Structure 1
Amino acid sequence: MSPSGPPVPPDLDRPHFIGIGGAGMSGIAKILAQRGARVAGSDAKDSETAQALRALGATVHLGHDAAHLAPDASAVVVSSAIRAQNPELAAARERGLPVVHRSDALAALMAGTTPIAVAGTHGKTTTTSMLAVALTALGLDPSYAIGGDLDAPGSNAHHGGGEIFVAEADESDRSFHRYAPQVAVVLNVELDHHANYASLEEVYESFEEFVGRVRPGGTLVVSADQPGAVELTSRVRDLGGLNIVTVGEAEGADVQITRINPRGLTSEVSVLLDGRMLTFTVSVPGSHYAHNAVAALAAGIAAGAPARNLASALAKYTGVKRRLQLKGEAAGVQVIDSYAHHPTEMAADLTAIRQATDGGRVLVVFQPHLFSRTRELGTEMGGALALADASLVLDIYPAREDPLPGITSELIVSAAEAAGADVTAVHGADAAVERVAGMAKPGDLVLTMGAGDVTELGPLILARLAD
C-alpha cells in the first residue's frame, strides 16, 4: 500500500517496538508501516502476527537484545508491560532516544481524523470491531486499531482513506487519558486491574477524566443499563459542550433496545431511535453482544453514518478471534474459545453459550489471568463457573505480574465448589486436554476461557477428540 492520508508523526518514521507482536502494539506498528514508516521491533517468540508485520515490510527480531535496536532508530515504542530492565529499553535510554508509550503513538496517529474511542471494563474489542466492520461495509474506509484480530493475523488494524479512526481505548493503565475523541463510548464501569486501581472510586475518576477529554461538541455514547455507566453519566452530565447518548433496555434510553431475539448463534435486535424502529441481525450469540452492537450503532451515527444503512451493515460482523470463536468440531463436540477473564464477562459468555446449545453440556477449561485479579475477584470467578455443567481450572497465567503469596487457582476452585459447581483443579495443558476430552460426549460444547495461553488448547482438544 502506498502511504496516503495523515503524515507519519514526528519521531515515528523509524520506530522500534518492544513487544511488537502484542495486540495493541502490532496494530500501531501496522498502521505506521502502511503510512510509509520503516518499522522494526522485537518479540519474545515468532507468531502469525509477526509474520503479517514482516509481510508489510517490518523487521521483527526474536528475543530481546540491545543489538536489535537499529543505529538510526528514531524512537522506541513501549507498553506498560515492558519493564525498565529490558535491554532494548535500557539501550534506548543510554542513547537518548525518545521513549514513546503506545497510547501516545496511537494518539499521534489519530491526529487529523474523526476519532471514535471505545472504552469500558469489558466489551471494547467486540464493539470496536463491530464498528470497524460496519463502517468498512458502508465504503467509509475507516482507520482502526483493535485489541484482537478480526479474521486473520494482523487484521487488528488498518490505515484507511476515510476520515474516521476507530480505536479501542484501554483503561487498565489509564492510557486512555491520552486520547481526545470526537465520539467516546463507555460500555460499562467496574473495578478491575487491581494493580493500578485501589477502589471503584478511582475507576470512576479515571473514566471521568477520559470523558472530559472528548472534543468540544463531541458525543459520549454510554450504557443506560450498567450501574457503573449510569453512575458515570450522572457525574459527567453537566460537562459543557458534551452531547450524551444513552443506549440500552432502560426506559427512556436515547437508543432503546426493545427486543433481543436469540436465534442459535445469532440474534435479531430491535431498537427505538428517534421514534423509528430499526431491526437488524447480530451474527454472534448473547445479549451482551447485542448491547455492544447497539453501542456501535449509536457511535457510528454520532460520527455521521446513516442509521438504517449502519444497522444493516452491522450484520457483516461475524466475530473476532477469542470472542466466542468456534475452533472446530470433532466426535460431535464443538470447541469454542473465549477471552473472558473478568467474572462479568465469564457469566455473559456462559449464558450466551447456554442459550445457543441444543441440550448438550457446557464444559469449561478456565485459566485465571493475573494474581492480583484472582486475589480480588476469585470468589466471583468461581460463582460464574457454576453456570457451566463442569469446569477445569488451570494454574494462574501471570502475564506481567510476579506471584503473590497464597494466591493460587485453588481460591477459584473453592469458591466454585461453594457455589455448587462441578469443578476440578488441573495442572498443565496436557492434563487439561486429556481430562476434558475424556469427559466430552457428542452434543457437548467445550469452552476454553481466559486471557492467557489457554487459547492454544482448542486445537489440541479437537485432535484428542478425533483420535
Structure 2
Amino acid sequence: MNLNQIHNVYFIGIGGIGMSALARYFKAKGKSVSGYDRTQTEITDSLQTLGIAVHFVDSVEQINPVFLDKDTTLVVYTPAVPGSHKELNYFMAHNFQVVKRSKVLGMITENTFCLAVAGTHGKTTTTSILGHLLNVCDVPLTAFLGGISENYNSNLILNGTEVTVVEADEFDRSFLTLSPNLACITSMDADHLDIYGDASEIEKSFQDFSKRIKPGGKLFFRNGLPLEGMTYGIDDDSDYSIQNIKIKEGTYFFDVKTPKMVLENLEFNLPGRHNLSNALIALAMAVEYGCPYQQLAKALASYSGVKRRFTYQIKRDDLVLIDDYAHHPEAINAVFSAIEEMFPKKKVLAVFQPHLYSRTRDFIDDFAKSLSQFDELILLDIYPARELPIDGVTSEWLLSKVNCEHKKLVTKEKLLDEISVSDAQVILTMGAGDIGDEVQHIKRRLSNAS
C-alpha cells in the first residue's frame, strides 16, 4: 500500500485519542478525512472544526459516497471496535483496504527517523515531553501523542516529516508494527491480561519490541528491567541519572548525569517522581538524537503537561482539585506519592472509576491496596469500555476489599453532592473511562461553594 496514492481516509472509532491524531495528520497532508464514533466528545468536536465530518450512527448510509470508492479510500479501525460493527463489515466484505491504526502508524514512521516510547505506564507523558523537547529544538518532526498536550492543545505536533515521535502501545501487541531508531521502555508491569493471559507474555512482547530497533539504534529502559541497552533512573548509577533533587514552590530543580557530562540546575514543573522519571528518559532520548543542551534545558522548563495527567483544576491554599488518567494500581500509587510529596499532611479524597471488568478482576487486591492509602474514597461503577459484564466483578466487590475508614460507592448522579460534603483539602479524580467528563462539573460546584 502506498499512502501517497490514497486520497480518502475513513476512520472507524475516529474519536479515540490515537485515531484522532492520525485523522489530524492526514487532514494536514491534504487527504479527505471522515469517520464514525460511538459518542460525541470534545475530541470529535475539535475534529469537526477542522472540517472532518464525523457521524455517530453505525450505518453505511451515513458515509459520504466519496469514501465508498475502494480504489482511493483507506479504512482505518481500532481493535476496540466490535466485530459486529456494520460499517467495518461492509468495508471488509467489499474488499476495501482496511487496516488497524497500529499498521498505519508503522507505515508512516517506516521511512523516518523514529523515536518510540513504550511501557505500561508513562507512555503518554513521556511522548509528549519528548515531542515538545524536539519541537523547541526545531527538529523537523511529527509527534503522535496519546493525550492532549497542554503546550499545543492537540495530540499531534506537526513541524516536518523527517522525524517521528510515537507512543508505542502494547495493547493488542500494536507496537510490534514499529521499527524505531531510538526507543525506550518505561515499565513492564502486568496489564491487558485479557489480551496476554499472564505477566510473562506481556514481558515477552516488550522483549520482542526491543528487538525491532533498527540497526545502529538504541534502547533506553528504566534501571532494573530485564533488558539490554542504556539505563535511566533517579539517584542511582544509571547511564542517565537524576541527582540533587530540590523542590521550590511545587517545581523540581535537579541535575542530570549523562554518559559524557552533568547537566546542572534543570527545571521541571510536573509533580511526582514518576513524572521526573518520564522527563529524564525524554531528555536522554533528545540528547542522544543530538539536541543542544541549553535549548533542552529551556524546553524542559517550558513543558506544561498533558490533560488528565496530574492536571490541576483548582490549586489554592485551602483547596486543590487534581484530575488524572490513572487506571492501574501502579499508576494510582504514583499519583498518591506525588500528592504526598507536594501536599504533605493534607486530607485527600480520591474519586475512582474502575476501567474494564477484566482489569478490575485481575488486579482486585492491588487496586484495594492502592486505594486504601487515601483518607477518603468515593468509588464509581466499573466503566465497561469494550467489555461485557463479568459475573461477580463489581465495584461493590472492590470496595469491600478497601481498607479505608471513609469509603462509599456512589452513582454519577450523586457524585457532586458527596464530594461537596467532604472536608478534604485535596480532591483527586482518577480513571480512564468517562469520569473525565465529570471534572468540569466538579470544578464548578467546588468553585461556587467557596
Q: 1:330 to 1:275 in 2, by over 3 A?
A: closer
Please say if 1:184 is aligned against 2:183.
yes
In structure 1, C-alpha distance between the alignment counterparts of 2:244 and 2:439, rounded to whole Å = 34
Tell me if structure 2 keeps the 8 A contact 1:17–1:76: yes
Deviations 1:115-172 (A, max 9, x none): 1110000000000000111111122242111111012896001332152211111001
Q: Match of 2:400?
A: 414
Please say if 1:16 is aligned against 2:35.
no
Q: Match of 2:359?
A: 373
Q: Which amino acid is 2:56 matched to?
A: L
In structure 2, C-alpha distance between the alignment counterparts of 1:154 and 1:36, rounded to whole Å = 21
- Bigger shift: residues 58-67 or 343-352: 58-67
Deviations 1:23-68 (A, max 9, x none): 0100011111111111110112222222222233322122221123
Q: Match of 2:62?
A: 68
Within 5 Å, give how 1:17-416 maps onto structure 2: 17-73=11-67, 74-151=73-150, 155-161=154-160, 163-224=162-223, 227=224, 230-231=225-226, 233=227, 237=228, 244-249=229-234, 251-278=236-263, 279-328=265-314, 332-357=318-343, 359-416=345-402
Q: 1:162 to 1:138 in 2, by over 3 A?
A: farther
Deviations 1:246-286 (A, max 9, x none): 11136431112223323343212321113522131111101
Query: Which of 428, 432, 440 is matched with 2:415 structurally?
Result: 432
In structure 2, C-alpha distance between the alignment counterparts of 1:12 and 1:252, rounded to whole Å = 49
Tell me if structure 1 keeps the 8 A contact 2:135–2:141: yes
CA drift of 1:380 comes to 0.9
Tell me if structure 1 keeps the 8 A contact 2:151–2:303: no
- Bigger shift: residues 424-433 or 362-371: 424-433
Give unpaired runs (5+ residues) of structure 2.
Answer: 68-72
CA drift of 1:11 comes to 6.2
Q: Which amino acid is 1:88 matched to?
A: E
In structure 2, C-alpha distance between the alignment counterparts of 1:203 and 1:432, rounded to whole Å = 36
Q: Match of 1:240?
A: none
CA drift of 1:423 comes to 4.4
CA drift of 1:397 comes to 0.7
Q: 1:100 to 1:11 in 2, by over 3 A?
A: farther
Deviations 1:317-344 (A, max 9, x none): 1111000111236894221101001111
Matched positions, count: 442
Tell me if structure 2 keeps the 8 A contact 1:410–1:425: no
| TM-score for both structures, normalised by structure 2 | 0.93
User: Residue 143 of structure 2 aligns to a residue in which SS?
Assistant: strand
In structure 1, C-alpha distance between the alignment counterparts of 2:297 and 2:315, rounded to whole Å = 31
Give unpaired runs (5+ residues) of structure 1.
Answer: 1-6, 238-243
In structure 1, C-alpha distance between the alignment counterparts of 2:269 and 2:2, rounded to whole Å = 36
In structure 1, C-alpha distance between the alignment counterparts of 2:345 and 2:42, rounded to whole Å = 36
Tell me if structure 2 keeps the 8 A contact 1:260–1:287: no
Tell me if structure 2 keeps the 8 A contact 1:125–1:147: yes
User: Residue 100 of structure 1 aligns to a residue in which SS?
Assistant: strand
Tell me if structure 1 keeps the 8 A contact 2:396–2:409: no
Tell me if structure 1 keeps the 8 A contact 2:365–2:401: yes
Percentage of matched positions with identical amino acids: 35
Please say if 1:447 is aligned against 2:428.
yes
Q: Match of 1:3?
A: none
Tell me if structure 1 keeps the 8 A contact 2:395–2:409: no
Q: 1:11 to 1:41 in 2, by over 3 A?
A: farther
Q: 1:276 to 1:329 in 2, by over 3 A?
A: closer
Tell me if structure 2 keeps the 8 A contact 1:264–1:357: no
CA RMSD after TM alignment = 2.0
Tell me if structure 2 keeps the 8 A contact 1:366–1:391: yes
| TM-score for both structures, normalised by structure 1 | 0.90
CA drift of 1:414 comes to 2.3
Tell me if structure 2 keeps the 8 A contact 1:322–1:455: yes
Q: 1:270 to 1:250 in 2, by over 3 A?
A: closer
Tell me if structure 2 keeps the 8 A contact 1:247–1:255: yes
CA drift of 1:8 comes to 7.7
In structure 1, C-alpha distance between the alignment counterparts of 2:61 and 2:302, rounded to whole Å = 45
Q: 1:65 to 1:409 in 2, by over 3 A?
A: same
Q: Match of 1:456?
A: 437
CA drift of 1:220 comes to 0.4
Q: Which amino acid is 2:414 matched to?
A: A
Tell me if structure 2 keeps the 8 A contact 1:127–1:296: yes
Q: Which amino acid is 1:101 matched to?
A: K
Deviations 1:213-261 (A, max 9, x none): 110000101111xx4xx21x1xxx3xxxxxx221113643111222332
User: Residue 203 of structure 1 aligns to a residue in which SS?
Assistant: helix
Q: Which amino acid is 1:40 matched to?
A: S
User: Residue 271 of structure 1 aligns to a residue in which SS?
Assistant: strand
Q: 1:247 to 1:336 in 2, by over 3 A?
A: same
Q: Match of 1:241?
A: none
User: Residue 196 of structure 1 aligns to a residue in which SS?
Assistant: helix
In structure 2, C-alpha distance between the alignment counterparts of 1:263 and 1:339, rounded to whole Å = 26
In structure 1, C-alpha distance between the alignment counterparts of 2:267 and 2:60, rounded to whole Å = 51
